[in-house]
Chains A and B, each alone.
Chain A
Amino acid sequence: MSEGIGARVLRKEDKRFITGKGRYTDDIIEANQAYAAFVRSPHAHARIVSLDTSAALAMEGVETVLTGPELVADGIGNIICGWGITSKDGTPMNMGAWSALATEKVRYVGDAVAIVVADSKSQAQLAAEAVVVTYEELPVVVGSVEALAPNAPKIHDNAPGNVIFDWEIGDLAPTDAALASAAHVTEMEITNNRLAPNPMEPRSAIATFNEAEDHYTLYTTSQNPHVARLVLSAFYNVAPEHKLRVIAPDVGGGFGSKIYIYPEEIACLWASMKSGRSVKWTSDRTEAFLTDAQGRDHVTTAKIGFDNEGKIVGLKVNTKANLGAYMSLFSSAVPTYLYATLLSGQYDIANIYCDVQAVYTNTVPVDAYRGAGRPEACYVVERIMETAAREMGMDPAELRAKNFVRSFPHQTPVIMAYDSGDFDANLKQAQAAADVSGFAARKAEAASRGKLRGMGYSNYIEACGIAPSAAVGSLGAGVGLWESAEVRVNPVGTIEILTGSHSHGQGHETTFAQIVAERFDLPTENIQIVHGDTDKVQFGMGTYGSRSGAVGMSAIVKAMDKVEAKVKKIAAHVLEAGEDDIVIEGGAVKVAGTDKQMLWHEVGLAAYTAHNIPEGMEPGLKESAFYDPTNFTFPAGCYICEVEVDPETGVTEVVQFVASDDFGTIINPMIVEGQVHGGIAQGIGQAMLENVVYDAAGQQLSASYMDYAMPRADDLPNYSVHHASTTCPGNPLGMKGCGEAGAIGSPPAVINAITDAIGNNNLSMPATPSAVWAALQDVSQKLAAE
């Protein structure tokens, strides 16, 4: 089947996007629609002394101006974090109150204090500027280390010392003992810079309250509309679930930042009820920098010990995680169960201990951004492995290979049980593609042009499709992490697949159709994927954590199993054959070895006319399934980056980037390669360009595309992408997930390459030309002193 599993099928969704017929939230205009603008705090930390809306209310076109105290009085609940973490001492995490509109205090620049609703966008913006708020400024803290200092400003009353939790994993005493006995110990301070996710489509919402039906509709830029409805209903008391429809139409990228339920959606729903108008809000880009949950921001010290043969004996890590001013939806899981559980990397390490202090600061909330915890873990492990190899005078690839896990399943000391992989195969494939043996000659040639050439490895492992639900529940998750699917075969034989996954660039309309085409031997044009509307799909957990393949597609497979069984029963009945003799192929349902057959659509019609189906069988041909995986999946791979540095300027060019990934079964290589390209671009962006910067007063200095260095076409190379796959034993298709690997694996490869080129290991992300140049001066000073 040319359109089945493994085929490079061109995307079904493309035509509407290349012709301008996509339908994103901001493209929609509802009847009687008004526009919202938010009054936001200009201070990073302040008490609200007074708030006067009278001038704004009197302005032309203004429908209403609503504030925090009114929101609280109407019973709208505080924004919650859905993953509970328990500290070392057994106490629960300290979650500070977060109201969609601030009531007494503001805690970061951009914190919303009022919503203005007016006839036009510009009227709403002008009126927002006319709302008079008097603030009493309070001392500000922006960094996690500073927030933990004894006299740091206190951000939430219930979080003494600004500590949200002080959590640990692994065994401390054996790890300390292993490190004490080690032949060689490498110790490093490692910072993981704060990033802004920056999907190109800014967040947007349109809320409509229908008074006659007591019913709400919300169009929103969401990666998981079903969870949004659940949370808006169960925790924020906006409306009961059956009175709230959430639709996430075409969504222009997410990268994690569109998982969460933000203050703006809550406020728009509430303001629609208060004003009787449809209320639309669309973020501008600066507002996105000020309000979209940001990513990373870890400050870590790590210590790794080796025996005299280069085998790892122990790893000890301490991380301070900056979670910003409030706890976003999954913020607590990122620096804990999505981070420290991956610290074993691809290596067999007997002793690991990690403790994490999560802290409040006067900055934008931090939550999952492409990779979410796993890039931070990979960066720690792969930077310290490279550094240790240099210190011990070993080849970095050899040191890694000496410590590879080679038998599966492999239980690490930090929860994860790796189910499959072949790390040697990825390493060898990447080395061949990168022509590692020719590197010395390339380096010499670069030197003849006055350039410093360096090469760096990263052997990443990550965990996708977080599951099973009971296990994540025991770790503190407030939700189950299964997925749902419904397969509807129409009377004419065409098929609709309803999925709880959501596509915002991943190409599900194509890949999901491919697995159906493969199973029933039908063309993908006869298959339609339906997602993103709570009135159509019953429930689902959405798309993040590279879960839509391993979990979302598995649910479709389970539902297809049921459809196939019923199809065979009907055909066996009509064709007077045994069910076991029925095969589905070539658009027909046949009795094997005979010329007896029904066309696929004839089976559909038979199911719906119900004139001649087995006695007792229900009419119709529609089946649903919920799939809960048995384990995480473990994508892994080897990335090799080569750079050239101009020593005069510090300008660094990535001249080669090779990836060898193990994603398990690949449905559509074209789409998987695209995911890897995009992930690597974001990883190179983190390593060389991107950085969210706050000044001491908590003002974000990087809040526009003039100030935040988004990777552009001429900053990036072409990528050499390869696959050496092992099958995942944990799900029916053998898939592992590919959405985040590029962003997880690439940053350490880049920094390992640059530090190799310049001969100075003391280099933080982003390695901008000025940072690289400064590191080079540091080297020359060292050499001069010697």
Chain B
Amino acid sequence: MKITMTVNGKSVSRDVAGNTLLVDYIRDHLRLTGTHVGCDTSQCGACVVHLDGKAMKSCTMLAASAEGASVTTVEGLATSKDDLHPMQIAFKENHGLQCGFCTPGMIMTATDMVARYQAAGKTLTEDDIRHELEGNICRCTGYHNIVKSISDGASKMTSA
């Protein structure tokens, strides 16, 4: 079946099997491989993208369910090669990644988290960040520097 959506600001259309997951549509058909798959039970969060502005595990929904939607992947976060998103800069500056595999999902979750707290006028505390990361697993960093990165990214997003 033909599935059309907007990905990173561009309208895309692909003919795929009806049981194609959104993550496979993104990775195998659009060849945007920054979105990863780290488990098969919607636990690890390596596949998080933004669907109509909200963080979503792309391994857990069919591409067909995203028909007509607007999807942002990690590749679509920076406005240009030299103009990274403040959260991307924060992960680099705070050594918030090691092997890099969970990183796209972490960054997509983090930007969503900060946007929600800012929209609600709430301060994002360290406890909040740790609680909000319930759906994202990292095996390398022990989370210390991820929490620091998100905290710093939140400040950078506020001042941006």
Contact = CB atoms under 8 A, between A and B. Distances in A.
A14 B91 contact: yes
Contact of A252 (B27, B74, B99): B99
Contact of B130 (A19, A202, A285, A713): A713
A704 B40 contact: yes
A710 interface: yes
Contact of A712 (B88, B92, B133, B141): B133
A55 to B, nearest CB: 21
Interface in B108-144: 126-127, 129-131, 133-134, 136-144
Contacts of A253: 98-99, 101, 139-140
Given A19-B78, A285-B41, A719 B99 contact: no
B139 A18 contact: no
Nearest to B135: A712
B44 A21 contact: no
Contacts of B147: 713, 718
A692 B17 CA distance: 37
Contacts of A17: 97, 100, 103-104
Q: Which one of B46, B91, B102, B143 has the highest number of Cβ atoms from chain A below 10 Å of its Cβ?
A: B143
Interface string B14-33: 00010100000001100111
B146 A20 contact: no
B78 A704 contact: no
A505 B142 CA distance: 13
B126 to A, nearest CB: 8
A255 B129 CA distance: 26
Given A285-B40, A713-B147, 13 more contacts: A11-B92, A14-B91, A16-B100, A19-B84, A200-B36, A200-B38, A252-B102, A505-B98, A505-B100, A674-B95, A681-B142, A714-B134, A742-B142
Contacts of A184: none
B139 A15 contact: no
A716 B38 contact: no
A638 B97 CA distance: 26
Given A122-B19, A286-B40, A18 B91 contact: yes
B138 A200 contact: yes
Contacts of A711: 142
A20 B73 contact: yes
Contacts of B75: 19-21
Interface in A653-684: 670-671, 673-674, 677-682
B87 to A, nearest CB: 9
B35 interface: yes
B139 A712 contact: no
Contacts of A367: none
Interface stretch (A22-30, A376-384, A512-520): A22-30
A210 interface: no
A251 interface: yes
A217 interface: no
Contacts of B44: 200, 285, 705
B67 to A, nearest CB: 20
A394 interface: no
B52 interface: no
B70 to A, nearest CB: 17
Given A674-B145, A677-B145, A704 B100 contact: no
A201 B46 CA distance: 9
A239 B102 CA distance: 35
B141 A677 contact: yes
A706 B129 CA distance: 21
B84 A255 contact: no
Contacts of B33: 20, 22-24, 26-27
Interface of B: 17, 19, 27-28, 31-41, 43-44, 46, 73-75, 77-78, 84, 88, 91-93, 95, 97-104, 107, 126-127, 129-131, 133-134, 136-147
7 contacts: A19-B34, A19-B84, A20-B34, A678-B139, A705-B43, A705-B44, A716-B142
A713 B11 CA distance: 36
A18 B74 CA distance: 8
A198 interface: yes
Contact of B88 (A19, A504, A673, A679): A19
B139 A677 contact: no
A704 to B, nearest CB: 5
Interface in A6-58: 10-11, 13-24, 26-27, 29
A759 interface: no
Contacts of B46: 200
B142 A200 contact: no
Contacts of A201: 36, 38, 99, 101
B75 to A, nearest CB: 4
B143 A716 contact: yes
A495 B90 CA distance: 29
A678 B142 contact: yes
B90 to A, nearest CB: 9
A670 B148 CA distance: 13
A403 interface: no
Given A24-B101, A678-B98, A255 B133 contact: no
Contacts of A251: 99
A506 interface: yes
A20 B74 contact: yes
B91 A713 contact: no
Contacts of B39: 284-285, 704-705
A705 B137 CA distance: 10
A704 B41 contact: yes
Nearest to B147: A713
A480 interface: no
Contacts of A505: 98-100, 140
Interface in A681-702: 681-682
A713 B43 contact: no
Q: Which one of A199, A671, A714 has the highest number of Cβ atoms from chain B below 10 Å of its Cβ?
A: A714
Contacts of A265: none
A355 interface: no
Contacts of B41: 285, 704-706
B137 to A, nearest CB: 5
Contacts of A200: 36, 38, 44, 46, 99, 101-102, 137-140
A507 interface: yes
A355 B59 CA distance: 48
A646 interface: no
Nearest to B98: A505
B95 A11 contact: yes
A250 interface: yes
Contacts of A742: 142
Contact of B97 (A18, A27, A122): A18
Q: Which one of B35, B39, B41 has the highest number of Cβ atoms from chain A below 10 Å of its Cβ?
A: B39
A716 B137 CA distance: 12
Given A200-B101, A201-B99, A670-B95, A19 B74 contact: yes
A467 to B, nearest CB: 25
Given A671-B95, A712-B133, A718-B144, A20 B32 contact: yes
A17 B105 CA distance: 11
Contacts of B37: 26, 202
Contacts of A712: 133-134, 137, 143
A755 B88 CA distance: 42
A202 B40 CA distance: 11
Q: Which one of A10, A505, A679 has the highest number of Cβ atoms from chain B below 10 Å of its Cβ?
A: A505
Interface in A192-227: 198-202
A118 to B, nearest CB: 14
A680 B78 CA distance: 33
Contacts of B102: 200, 252
A505 B141 CA distance: 10
B98 A506 contact: yes
Contacts of A680: 142
B143 A713 contact: yes
A16 B102 CA distance: 13
B92 A15 contact: yes
